[in-house]
Amino acid sequence: MSEAHRLFSVEDANELLPVLELELGRVARLRSDLASAIASLGGADTALGILHQGQEPPAGLEREAATLKEIAGQIAGAVERITRLGCVIKDLEAGLIDFYSLRGTEPVFLCWQFGEPAVSHWHALDGGFAGRQEIEGVEVEPPEFPN
């Protein structure tokens, strides 16, 4: 942790979940639209050329290219809003978000995945999702679903 990072308590991280759920839900919908836009342009190579290399779209596909750029911009905006909160996006597609924290004096990540009701796991900075451990003393009640 050589750079200064925002440090989160479990409570701080959990307070951000409504915003994160909204942003990640938006990204999931946009990713579906993005896949359609990429296909309409003839595939990923063309889309990447347009987005990253400034290539012109194939003739007659200018509207599709504009749609691609708009969707990519919206996804980038969501990513920026999440990272501005101090969160670390580990896997956008899976909705994995980490929060810098301390366990005693040891820097760790609090870990949350989109769909989980609360932040209730942690792992070492180099441990990753596979190294997740439950946070002692944090009890998560399953959500109630009306039938």
Residues 79 and 92 in one domain: no
DSSP-derived letter for residue 131 is G
Residues 29 and 67 in one domain: yes
pLDDT tens per residue, range 35-75: 999 999 999 999 999 999 989 999 999 999 999 999 999 99
Q: Give the pLDDT confidence score for residue 5 in this predicted structure.
A: 85
Distance CA 91, CA 113 (A): 9
Domains in the chain, number: 2
pLDDT tens per residue, range 99-122: 999 999 999 999 999 999 999 999
Three-class SS state of 132: coil
Residues 28 and 72 in one domain: yes
* Domain boundaries, position 99: 1-16+86-147
Q: pLDDT confidence of 146, banded at 50, 70, 90?
A: low
Confidence (pTM): 0.84
Inter-axis angle of helices 62-84 and 44-53, nearest 10: 70
